[in-house]
Chain A
Amino acid sequence: AQSVTQLDSHVSVSEGTPVLLRCNYSSSYSPSLFWYVQHPNKGLQLLLKYTSAATLVKGINGFEAEFKKSETSFHLTKPSAHMSDAAEYFCVVSESGGGSQGNLIFGKGTKLSVKP
Chain B
Amino acid sequence: ETGVTQSPTHLIKTRGQQVTLRCSSQSGHNTVSWYQQALGQGPQFIFQYYREEENGRGNFPPRFSGLQFPNYSSELNVNALELDDSALYLCASSLDGFYSYNEQFFGPGTRLTVL
Contact = CB atoms under 8 A, between A and B. Distances in A.
A94 interface: yes
Contact of A104 (B43, B55, B107): B43
Interface string A53-91: 000000000000000000000000000000000000010
B41 A102 contact: no
Closest 4 CB pairs of A and B: A101-B56, A106-B42, A51-B101, A94-B100
Contact of B42 (A42, A101, A103, A109): A109
A116 interface: no
Contacts of B45: 103-105
A103 B56 contact: yes
Interface residues of A, number: 25
Given A103-B56, A106-B44, A108-B41, A49 B4 contact: no
Contacts of A44: 43, 90, 92, 106
A44 B4 CA distance: 11
B58 interface: yes
Contacts of A14: none
A102 B99 contact: yes
The majority secondary structure among interface residues of chain A is strand
Given A41-B108, A43-B107, A44-B90, 17 more contacts: A31-B100, A43-B4, A43-B106, A43-B108, A44-B92, A44-B106, A45-B106, A94-B100, A96-B101, A101-B56, A101-B98, A102-B102, A106-B35, A106-B43, A108-B41, A108-B42, A109-B42
Contacts, number: 68
Interface of B: 4, 33, 35, 40-45, 48, 55-56, 58, 90, 92, 97-109
8 contacts: A36-B106, A44-B106, A46-B103, A101-B55, A103-B33, A103-B58, A107-B42, A108-B41
Interface of A: 31-32, 36, 41-46, 49, 51, 90, 94-96, 100-109
A102 to B, nearest CB: 4
Contacts of A106: 35, 42-44
